[in-house]
Amino acid sequence: MGQLLWITGEMRLEQDGFVMTTEDPVNGVPRGLILGRVTAIANAGSSSPRAEVDPIVDFRALEHVMVLVEALP
């Protein structure tokens, strides 16, 4: 189990939603790789929400992980 950090209150978090990669051509990371699933959300309406994530990949084998999501209009 892990926790997402650096989440803004403007982002839409959903229970059972997926955490996915965004495209990073410089580092060779494709868009849409599923990293985990949101299992719990605390302080969802606040300026500093927290999301617990059940990882789908073994993070011990990764060197860098960056999760970016599109801001809502």
Q: What is the pLDDT of residue 39?
A: 92
Alpha-carbon span 46 to 40, nearest angstrom? 15
- The tens digit of pLDDT for each residue in 30-71 reads 888 888 899 988 876 666 778 899 988 776 777 776 666 677
Q: What is the pLDDT of residue 21?
A: 80
Confidence of residue 10 (pLDDT cuts 50, 70, 90): low
Alpha-carbon span 60 to 45, nearest angstrom? 31
Phi/psi at 15 (5° precision): -60, 135
Domain ranges for the chain, please list them.
Answer: 2-61
